[in-house]
Amino acid sequence: MSGSMRTRLQEAMAQLDGKYRAALKDSLMQDAFDELWPAWSVEMGAMINSEVLSSLDLLLLTAAVDNRRLLMELRARLEERGRGDR
């Protein structure tokens, strides 16, 4: 992959969508993969500004951060529910 970081990221995303997602057998895994796109799109600027990681590393890092965000949301909801049961 050559070109700007934005181009490399977009090419990596397209390749993952066309090959990796298509190869996933589990429909829930495909759905989970589809949920990465909003985080990748929103955080494209942060990924472009990184000078250390490859485009695939950046996509994975952003997905991991988004997963952590979702886990934190779920934890907060569970804790809120737990306080309501007391």
pLDDT digits (tens, 9 = 90+) for 28-72: 889 888 888 888 888 888 888 877 678 888 789 789 878 888 998
* pLDDT in the model for residue 66: 86
pTM: 0.64
CB 55 within 8 A of CB 15: no
State whether residue 52 is helix, strand or coil.
coil
For residue 1, pLDDT over 70 is answered with no
What are 27's two structure tokens? 């429909």
Helices (H) and strands (E) in the chain, counts: 6, 0
- Shortest CA distance to 13 belongs to which of 71, 51, 49, 63? 63
